[in-house]
Every structure is written in C-alpha cells, then in structure tokens.
Amino acid sequence: MIRVVPGTKDILPSESWQWQGVEQVCAKVARRYGFHEIRTPIFEETELFARGIGETTDIVGKEMYTFSDKGGDSVTLRPEMTAPVARAVIQHSLIEESTTLKVWYSGPMFRYERPQKGRYRQFHQFGAELLGSANPVADAEIIAFGYSILRALDLTQFELHLNTLGNTASREKFRHELVAFLTPHKDGLTQTSQNRLLTNPLRILDSKAEQDKEILKNAPRLSDCLDDESTAFYEQVKELLTIQNIPFIENQSLVRGLDYYSHTAFEFITDKLGSQNALGGGGRYDGLLSMLGAKNAIPGIGFGLGIERLLLLLGEEAKAAGEEQKPDIYLIGLDKVCRNECIRLAAELRSEDFCAVIDVQNRSFKAQMREANKLGATLVIIIGEGEMQTQTCSVKVMATGEQISVANIDIPHKLRSIMLANMPIPQ
C-alpha cells in the first residue's frame, strides 16, 4: 500500500470542517483589522530563502525542500511566508512612499524536520505582514491581530510572550558583550552553541540544553544594552497592548538571531501541547526588504500561526471551530417514479440553497432512513404513491419525530420556516 510521506497528513472529510472553521475565523478577524489576502506560489527560487531567512538558521541549513527543476534551476518549497511576501512587495512595487500594506496569507509550508506531535514536514500557517510602518502602533496592531484570532477561536490556554531586540546599535552592543562573556566559557557549551558563537551568537539564548542554560545564567542581558530609542519603542508597544487589555509576559530569552530583526519579538505559547509549545509568533524585520533588493528601506512586522497546533489546542480545550455540515433535507422516494420526483425536488431545493441529499444506490426505505439518521439530516422528505397523487410530500422533523404533509408548491418556503423553528438557539 502506498501511504502518505512521513511528516505529511491527509485532512479527511471528518476533520476538514474544523480546518475550514479555523480558516474562516482567521479570515474574519483579518477583515476586522483591514488586512487583505495575498497568494504567492508554493515554490520560489532557492536564493530568496537563503538570503531572506539566513544561511545560519536551521531552516536554511537543514530543513529546506530544495531541488533542481527540469531546467536545472534550484527551487525550494516555501518554508515560511515572510520572504515570499517581501519578494512580491518588491517585484510589484506594492509600497510607495509613506504608504502601508497589510496582507494575510494561509497555506502549506514545508520543512524537513523530525516529525512528532505538532511538528510536521508539510504544515499550515495563517499569518499576516504589515509593511511600510516603523511605528510601534504597527507592532501592537500585528500582535493584537494574532491575539484576536486565538480569542475568536475561544482558546484560553496560552500566553503571549514579548521581548524587544532593540535597534541595530543596541543589538550590536549586546552581541559584543555576549560574545565577550561566552568566549571564556566556550568549552562548556554544547557543540551547537559553540558553532553559533561564531555564526549567530544571539541564538545561543534560545538553547534548551541544561549545560548552556547554566552558563547563560550570568550572561549579560539584552535589556541592559537598550538605548533610549529602543526602550521608548518597547514601552509604547507594551502600553498599546495594555490599553487593549491584551495580557503579556516579558520573556528575555525570546530572540531572533538574524541581523534584519529589530525591536519587537513575540510568541504565543501553550503548555498543553508538550514540547511543540509555540502556537505562533512573529516580530519586526526592518532590514529584510533592503536585503532582498528593495530600493527604499521598507520596515515590516508580521506573525505566523500554526494551524495544526491551533487545532490540537482546540481539541485539548474540548472546543470546535466551525460546524460539521449536515444535510438540511434527505429525500426518500419509495419507487422509481417517486425517486425521480425526489431528484427533481432536490434540484429545486438546491437552487434555493438548501443542502439536499438523495440516495444514489437505489436502497430500501429502511436503509435510506438509516442513512438520513447517520448523516444527521434536519428533515426527511418522503414521497410515495399517495404523495405523488396529491402533489404533496411528507416531511419528518428528525429532532421531534413529528411528520407533516406539505403541498409541493409551498415546499421551499415551508421547509425554511420548519428549519428555523427547529434550529438550536445560538448561545
């Protein structure tokens, strides 16, 4: 049997409605914040990610799905969306002087990681990017947008962690101090951290290894290296979150190692999903677009949420997004003529936007009734010889068992009012 490739998953009909529910909530919240969708190709020139994410990161170093196409060009399945969005902004000149661009995206990303619960090789992200503003108001908008999605999904078991990396000057000062502090302790660090000391020292702060953590206990702190501009920026982000009642936890070990990151870094963390505890995160990347060839420096900030992890957390919290689609009406015909009448009537009902389902296997009345039950139909229409003669049909309300006769001419109108009367009251 041929199976899915490890680290990838089928999204089956029994679960796709939850995916649609999450995606719809995300799109709805995007609308509230005035963001528009952008769709870029699933693969890009490898160079885009090598430059846009950074050669020293795990993503570029170890995790990219890169291959040569038939023409010999190196292409890569996108591992994230900030670089493709930045490319599109530059290519189509989407930002002019003093304008901003607010976009969201949703779709699959690809990273060759070790698969485990909450970590896949093809996974899905919903995310947003706000480009063209270097103002902390933009940071607060982006964080509030991500937070609002989690709340709109009714999730509560998470925390927002916040940090600042400061401006370039502050970060350089910190990098110097960190390297000066760690160099004498080099031999006590893990091999990965020793390598990072040369390539990307800030990322050592991210290390989960006990031996690194022990040494880092006395390391200089980024907050001590912040200049006045950086501190003022951070204070304003915090104030803007506070006035929106968005709770956050300051976390100094939240870092992004690359040069083009600055100021705000944040992550939505949960303790309900084991080691894959990040639901999503983001940050400010003021240097990225220049690095990718933009003529003017275009600042930006964005976030990405992992859809699989949102769904896992919804499961943990015993909540659901969206609603499983059930038929409004299941039509049962008792003989061939009646079945044809069911087909005619189903077409009429569908054009009135009902979900109408018919038997497609010529099964017995009992089997059809069983299927109507299994599918959770709200109403069942039964047409037999008697109904054909009187130009009516029998309508059974499944929730109550009540059965009534409705004249054909009244059907769509009458069914709508029966359905309304039998709808669960929204909570």
Interacting residues with ligand AMP (CB under 6 A): 80, 111, 113, 118-120, 123, 125, 278-281, 304, 306, 308-309
Closest contact distance (angstroms) between CB of 278 and ligand AMP is: 4
Give the nearer residue to ligand AMP in terms of CB position, either 200 or 368: 200
Give the nearer residue to ligand AMP in terms of CB position, either 124 or 171: 124
Q: What does each C-alpha distance from 110 to 6, 14, 27, 60, 312 come to in angstroms?
A: 12, 24, 22, 12, 19
Closest contact distance (angstroms) between CB of 271 and ligand AMP is: 14
Contact indicator for 92, 86 with CB cutoff of 8 Å: no
Closest contact distance (angstroms) between CB of 121 and ligand AMP is: 7
Give the nearer residue to ligand AMP in terms of CB position, either 280 or 287: 280
Give the nearer residue to ligand AMP in terms of CB position, either 49 or 330: 49
Closest contact distance (angstroms) between CB of 81 and ligand AMP is: 8
The alpha carbon dihedral of 17, 22, 23, 24 has a sign of positive
Give the nearer residue to ligand AMP in terms of CB position, either 233 or 285: 285
Give the nearer residue to ligand AMP in terms of CB position, either 257 or 304: 304
Closest contact distance (angstroms) between CB of 105 and ligand AMP is: 12
Q: Which residue is nearest to ligand AMP (CB)?
A: 306
Closest contact distance (angstroms) between CB of 265 and ligand AMP is: 10
Closest contact distance (angstroms) between CB of 228 and ligand AMP is: 29
Closest contact distance (angstroms) between CB of 187 and ligand AMP is: 30
CA torsion, ordered 247, 253, 257, 260, to nearest 10 deg: 30
Give the nearer residue to ligand AMP in terms of CB position, either 128 or 279: 279
Give the nearer residue to ligand AMP in terms of CB position, either 284 or 396: 284
